[in-house]
Amino acid sequence: MLDMAILGLLEERDLHGYEIRRQLRDHLGLLANVSFGSIYPALTRLEKSGAVVATDGSSASDRRTTAAAPPTGSLSGELAVLRARRSPGTRSRRGKKVYRITDAGRQLFAELLADGGAADDARSFSLRLAFARHLAPQARLALLERRRAVLMQRLGETESGARPDLDPYARSVVEHTTGGVTRDINWLDSLIASERAALADARAEPVG
């Protein structure tokens, strides 16, 4: 799940762990306040599987060339590289590790975004929807309808009607969450309508 989010962000630009967390917190806001205890293991995981590569931060602006930049950079950049080399073996000098997505990573991202196992929780769905521009129109529609179906079923399973068996506090919680699910469904309905309209337009006006 986190893997998908990270790959999605890296699709746009190279980032290091701290930045990834900030983007998830700021952009996706209240939704995804992910801890470093998740992010760094995830990055290690993704690197080991070949979905991303880590570069040392000194060549961050250069998209193409790998390490061993010629001494044309800034003085501080040069010093950083030298310091990095000074520590034996590991790049464990406390400095930025900037991650770049690979072709394998892009493919993995597409897979995780499309099916990505079950994961019918709210977090997963919102994350997928936030990256929905990477999906084909009909896959987008399917995502929305799948989510709608899940929520409808949950609503149905919840015993509806007044519930005098619950005390006021529990009842308030249940009603509030039920209302939230209803709100979600209305939201999904409007999104689904938009998607359908876009699909109809595309069908009516094919390529040109």
Partner DNA sequence: ACATCGCTATATCGAATCGATATAATGGTC
Partner DNA sequence: GACCATTATATCGATTCGATATAGCGATGT
- 176 makes contact, choosing from its own copies, DNA, none, with CB < 5 to 8 Å by partner type, with its own copies
| Complex with DNA: residue 16 or 171, whichever CB lies closer | 16
Residue 34: strand, helix, or coil: coil
- Give phi and psi for 158, each to the nearest 5: -65, 125
Site string for its own copies, 16-45 (x = CB under 8 A): ----------xxxxxx--------------
For 116, the 3-state DSSP assignment is coil
Block residue for tokens 């506090």: 169
Site string for its own copies, 170-199 (x = CB under 8 A): x-xxx-xxxxxx-xx--x---x--------
Instruction: Give how many residues touch its own copies by CB under 8 A.
Output: 36
Number of residues that bind DNA (CB under 7 A): 34
Binding segment for its own copies (CB under 8 A), chosen from 34-42, 46-54, 98-106, 126-134, is 126-134
Identify how many contiguous H helices and E strands the chain contains and give both numbers.
8, 3
What's phi and psi for 162, nearest 5 deg? -60, 140
- Does residue number 88 form part of the binding site for its own copies (CB under 8 A)? no
**Binding-site member from 71, 118, 161, 167 for its own copies (CB under 8 A):** 167
Residue 97 has phi, psi (to 5 degrees) of: -110, 110
Q: What is the CA radius of gyration of the chain?
A: 23
Residue 18 is a binding residue for DNA (CB under 7 A): yes
Whose Cβ is closer to DNA: residue 75's or residue 207's?
A: 75
Residue 114 CB neighbour total at 10 angstroms: 14
Sequential DSSP letters for 166-197: S-HHHHHHHHHHHHHHHHHHHHHHHHHHHHHH
Binding site for its own copies (CB under 8 A): 26-31, 70, 126, 129-133, 154-155, 157-159, 166-170, 172-174, 176-181, 183-184, 187, 191
